Amino acid sequence: MPVFNEHKTIREIIAKVQAVPIETELVIVDDASTDGTREILKSEYEGKPGIQVYYHEKNKGKSGAIKTGIPHTTGEIISIQDGDLETDPNDFIALTEPIKSGEASVVYGSRYLQPKEESLYFAYKFGARFLSVVVNIMYGQNITDEATCYKVFRADILKGIPLEYDRFEFCPEVTAKVSKLGYKIKELPMNYYPRSFDEGKKMNWRDGVKALWVLVKFRFVN
């Protein structure tokens, strides 16, 4: 769980993750929060069973926090969980099943496969769908939501991928690299409750441009 300035939601999302009726461990990486999130983690969650907490002294970005957390995981399946309330951790039950059964090695939750899809900013939704089309064309996948938070991996696969970027490039980088390794990404519906930029949403159109460049780079340059 990469976390940056989520003091309003951190307690609730941790509780939701721990309430999921599957065996879990939670590795939290605070990316130099300045709003009290770090203090909450230090006082309430350090040393608690099933939770590990790590801290960045300088803000590195979401991908940087994910890179810090991955080596500390001990389970056979790794999933990314944001520190906000846009997603429902109960979706882990369905999203991990194809990996447990051996049907797939990489599973993405898709916000666009839900019958009652929650509304997104038009530009954000357009960008996310466009990036998915790019992935499908350049990497031979068949996905609808490249930018989804819920990316679930067989742990040995994710731990074996050298991640280069630190900001929001985790999604395109890991998608490109698992694709080049020959893994087909399986998608399943996920619940999604989008928040506004006023409520703390951090991605913007510049991140979409960077994501496109990363996909092109790893397809034709690296």
Per-residue pLDDT tens for 39-64?
999 999 999 999 999 999 999 999 99
- Between CA 150 and CA 137 the distance in angstroms is 22
Entry pTM: 0.92
Per-residue pLDDT for 83 more than 60?
A: yes
Which structure tokens are listed for 64?
């940087």
The CA-based angle 131-168-180, given to 5 degrees, is: 55
- Tell me: the pLDDT tens digits for 15-40? 999 999 999 999 999 999 999 999 99
Domains contained in the chain, CATH given: 2-220 (3.90.550.10)
Instruction: List, for residues 162-210, the tens digit of each pLDDT value.
Output: 999 998 899 999 999 999 999 999 999 999 998 665 555 556 668 889 9
